[in-house]
Amino acid sequence: MNRKVPTVRKHAQDETKITHSSGNVFVDLGFDHAEAQVLALRADLMVQLEQTIKARKMTQVAASKVLGVSQGRVSDLARGKVEKFSLDMLVTFAARLGKPAKVVLSKA
């Protein structure tokens, strides 16, 4: 999630101004850096979990049994409902899928 992607904004005079992304959409949306990092980690982990479930051709019912949650929770995961999952829970899901999550601190 650290790619610099330009965004285009139209001004009242119809001039185009390009604003470069910070590399974290949540920072760009106004979240403070600490919260934005957690949100980005959660979103990234959710995508990877969903990809793992799809790659294994698991149904939501089968995934729910492995993850230890209801099928509805797997549906929330598949639909990207980030607000419904803590980072803690997503790390637990990864472990239950045999894909332990790892956080690596970057050099500042």
Q: For residue range 35-69, what is the model confidence (pLDDT) as tens digits?
A: 888 988 999 999 999 999 999 999 999 999 999 99
- What is the rounded distance in angstroms from the CA atom of residue 23 to the CA atom of residue 7? 11
Has residue 16 been placed in a domain? no
Has residue 5 been placed in a domain? no
- CATH number for the domain including 65? 1.10.260.40
Global model pTM greater than 0.85: no
Backbone angles phi and psi of 68, in degrees to 5: 75, 30
Has residue 36 been placed in a domain? yes
- What is the rounded distance in angstroms from the CA atom of residue 93 to the CA atom of residue 64? 10
Domain interval for residue 88? 32-96
DSSP 8-state code for residue 34 = H
Question: How many structural domains does the chain have?
Answer: 1
Has residue 102 been placed in a domain? no
Has residue 42 been placed in a domain? yes
- The 3-state DSSP composition of the chain as helix, strand, coil percent (nearest 5) reads 50, 10, 40
